[in-house]
Amino acid sequence: MLERMSDSGARQVKLFSIGANQVVRIPREFTLPGEDAIMRKEGNRLIIEPALPRSLLALLATLEPIDEDLPIIEDLRIDEIDL
């Protein structure tokens, strides 16, 4: 049975099994972005964090726009190199 959220933000959740895997039902207020997560143990604690995007385009899509003016870069002449 799910309990109401405590003052610490912790909440009791339901565990169940699907085949050989144990599954935790994550409440809506703890929903993680994306389709993948990273899970690790720290002592008796189980930590679940969103996984970093796998591609450069996915990573760029998560970044906020830059709201500052960037300096103008001079058009520098490039010397030709014989290879």
Query: 37-57 pLDDT, tens per residue?
Result: 999 999 999 999 998 878 888
Query: 60-83 pLDDT, tens per residue?
Result: 888 888 888 888 888 878 888 888
| Mean pLDDT in residue range 27-32 | 92
Element (H, E) at 59: helix 56-62
* pLDDT score recorded for residue 32: 92
Confidence band of 1 (pLDDT split at 50, 70, 90) = very low
CB 39, CB 26: distance < 8 Å: no
In this model, does residue 8 exceed pLDDT 90?
A: no
What are the residues whose beta carbons fall under 8 Å from the beta carbon of 78, sequence distance 6 or more? none
Confidence band of 5 (pLDDT split at 50, 70, 90) = low
